[in-house]
């Protein structure tokens, strides 16, 4: 056994220049082919799922970067793509200034000692056929680090460091509890002495009491070894506890960046606001107004135009020139989304279909006459099953920047937000031509 590597790198030796962040992600995209069977390939009929659609972020040395969002918004995909477990469709990942998407597999293998990962489900992230000793020691075998006895000592050290008994090294994963398994997973990641760890929902499969222990362990390890974390979670209160900066994701894009303080201080992105309002409060007299978002997350195969959140946003900018209240506008927008998707079962309505639709989908009576006229025309088209005409009519007459332009990230008083509400030019609801927006 040769000794190509050493177990410990001397602390404080930094290979990077002072300005460059440890990790920089630029315009990362990851698309998957859906319906990827042989026949549809032959027919050239494949669909793409845009799991991650142009994400940029920077993580500094010793920093914890929180990434939150609901299930299926692409947060785990970002983590895996950064680690090159999945090849990005586009974009670059710079680690210490080096674009690791262009590395050869051999160079990438060496880099694996710098970047590690901790997974969500400790029961499936540890091979049930291997002992703890083999699981943690695998890194040493792969990278040919240390002699047999050095490895043994190091494994025992790691187990003690993550709060387990060193004598447990010869046991199998099924003999441990979830929290203990997660500690083993952390020990495995620490074995190669990494500078950056992707924590892919490391506590969401654990009991609340164990969650706190694991979070504290992660913080202690960060303080001791100066590790940077990309902390992926769907629980804002967990991220608030551990992260230095947070990014909120929606449908493959980042909606808002900021420190926890910035994120929790209004004004925020409407999505962040809704997420924050859903954090439970242990106060029997608390009566917060929880914002309930309409509908479900749209399919990433066919995401909405413009701002991807506009189909559910409670604060969509009303079209210019109409005196629409927000709730009226929201009701019309929801109906419009249904019409766009052809999601109105016409055969279930009887009598005057237009009126029945208004009743069924709770269109308020109070909407201004000019808007009402457009809506009536559109509903007439729907009644004769011409969804396309109705859809294009509503799109043209009731045009909102939210449905046309994809908002860029803008700096605000509290962090950076991708929302037209923070863009003064859209204040009156006028849709500027694309060129003006690009020029900005």
Partner 1 sequence: MAPTTPERTTERGRIRISGFDPDVVASREPLSSWTPELEATEGKGRLEYAWERFKRNRLALFGTGVIVFMVLLAVFARPIELPDSLPVLAGQVIQPFSLAPVSPGTQDLINAHNPPTLENLAAWPPSPLGIFGTDWAGRDLFSRVIYGGRWSLSIGFIAVAVALFIGIPLGSIAGYYGGKIDEAIMRVVDMLYAFPFIVLAIAVIAILGRGYWELVLALVAVGWLPYARIIRGEILSVKENEYVAAAKALGATDRMIIIRHILPNAMAPVIVQATLSVGTIVLAAAALGFIGLGLSPASAEWGVMLNVEQDSIARGRWWAGVFPGLAIFTFVMAINLLGDGVRDAFDPQGDRTGSGGMR
Residue numbers of the site for partner 1 (CB under 8 A)? Answer: 38, 80, 83, 85, 108-110, 112-113, 115-117, 119-121, 124-131, 138-139, 142-143, 168, 170-172, 174-177, 180, 185, 188, 192, 216, 281-289
Contact 194, 222 (CB under 8 A): no
CB of 73 to partner 1, least distance (A): 19
- Which one, 158 or 404, has the nearer CB to partner 1? 158
CB of 83 to partner 1, least distance (A): 6
Give the span between the Cα atoms of 382 and 387, in whole angstroms: 5
Contact 249, 255 (CB under 8 A): yes
Q: Which two tokens stand for residue 128?
A: 């049930």
- Which one, 19 or 285, has the nearer CB to partner 1? 285
Residue 322: count other Cβ atoms within 10 Å of its Cβ: 16
- Which one, 42 or 369, has the nearer CB to partner 1? 42
CB of 345 to partner 1, least distance (A): 37
Task: Give me the half-sphere count of Cα atoms (radius 13 Å) on the Cβ side of residue 65.
Answer: 24
CB of 289 to partner 1, least distance (A): 7
Q: Provide the 8-state DSSP code for 304.
A: P
Q: Strand pairing of 245-250 and 253-258?
A: antiparallel
Contact 294, 331 (CB under 8 A): no
- Which one, 204 or 355, has the nearer CB to partner 1? 204
Q: What sign for the dihedral angle of Cα 83, 87, 88, 94? A: positive
CB of 185 to partner 1, least distance (A): 8
- Which one, 281 or 365, has the nearer CB to partner 1? 281
Q: Which two tokens stand for residue 87?
A: 């090849």
- Which one, 267 or 298, has the nearer CB to partner 1? 267
CB of 288 to partner 1, least distance (A): 5
C-alpha gyration radius of the chain: 26
Which residues 6+ apart lie within 8 Å of 154 measured at CB?
Answer: 7, 140, 146, 191
Contact 285, 109 (CB under 8 A): no
CB of 326 to partner 1, least distance (A): 19
CB of 233 to partner 1, least distance (A): 16
Contact 236, 275 (CB under 8 A): yes
Give the span between the Cα atoms of 274 and 291, in whole angstroms: 5
CB of 393 to partner 1, least distance (A): 41
Which residues 6+ apart lie within 8 Å of 200 measured at CB?
Answer: 76, 79, 80, 117, 118, 119, 120, 232
Please give the full DSSP string across 307-368, using - where no structure is assigned. Answer: STTTTT-TTPPPPTT----HHHHHHHHHHHHHHHHT---GGG--SSHHHHHHHHTT--TTS-
CB of 135 to partner 1, least distance (A): 8
């Amino acid at each position: 056994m040769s000794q190509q590597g050493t177990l410990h790198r001397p602390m404080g030796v930094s290979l990077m220049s002072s300005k460059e962040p440890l990790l920089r992600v630029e315009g990362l995209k990851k698309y998957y082919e859906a319906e990827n069977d042989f026949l549809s390939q032959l027919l050239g009929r494949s669909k793409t799922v845009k799991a991650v659609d142009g994400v940029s972020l920077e993580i500094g040395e010793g920093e914890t970067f929180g990434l939150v969002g609901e299930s299926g918004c692409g947060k785990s995909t970002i983590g895996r793509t950064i680690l090159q477990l999945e090849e990005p469709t586009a974009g670059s990942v710079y680690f210490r200034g080096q674009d690791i998407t262009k590395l050869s597999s051999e160079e990438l293998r060496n880099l694996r000692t710098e970047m590690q990962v901790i997974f969500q489900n400790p029961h499936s992230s540890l091979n049930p056929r291997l002992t703890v000793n083999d699981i943690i020691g695998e890194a040493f075998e792969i990278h040919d680090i240390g002699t047999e006895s050095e490895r043994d000592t190091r494994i025992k050290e790691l187990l003690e460091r993550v709060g387990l008994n060193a004598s447990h090294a010869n046991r199998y994963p099924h003999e441990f509890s979830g929290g203990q398994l997660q500690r083993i997973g952390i020990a495995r990641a620490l074995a190669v002495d990494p500078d950056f760890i992707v924590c892919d929902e490391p506590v969401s499969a654990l009991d609340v009491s164990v969650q706190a222990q694991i979070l504290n362990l992660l913080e202690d390890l960060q303080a001791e070894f100066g590790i940077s974390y990309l902390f992926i979670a769907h629980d804002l209160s967990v991220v608030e506890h551990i992260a230095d900066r947070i990014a909120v994701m929606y449908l493959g894009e980042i909606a808002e960046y900021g420190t926890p303080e910035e994120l929790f201080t209004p004004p925020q992105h409407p999505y962040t606001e809704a997420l924050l309002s859903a954090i439970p409060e242990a106060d029997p007299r608390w009566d917060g107004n929880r914002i309930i978002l309409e509908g479900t997350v749209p399919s990433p195969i066919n995401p909405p135009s413009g701002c991807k959140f506009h189909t559910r946003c409670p604060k969509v900018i009303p079209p210019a020139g109409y005196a629409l209240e927000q709730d009226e506008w929201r009701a019309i927008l929801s109906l419009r989304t249904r019409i766009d998707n052809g999601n109105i079962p016409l055969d279930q309505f009887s009598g005057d279909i237009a009126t029945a639709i208004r009743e069924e989908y709770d269109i308020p009576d109070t909407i201004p006459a000019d808007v009402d006229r457009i809506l009536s025309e559109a509903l007439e088209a729907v009644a004769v099953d011409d969804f396309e005409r109705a859809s294009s009519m509503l799109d043209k007459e009731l045009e909102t920047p939210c449905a046309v332009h994809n908002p860029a990230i803008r700096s605000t008083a509290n962090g950076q937000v991708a929302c037209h509400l923070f863009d003064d030019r859209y204040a009156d609801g006028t849709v500027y031509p694309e060129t003006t927006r690009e020029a900005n």
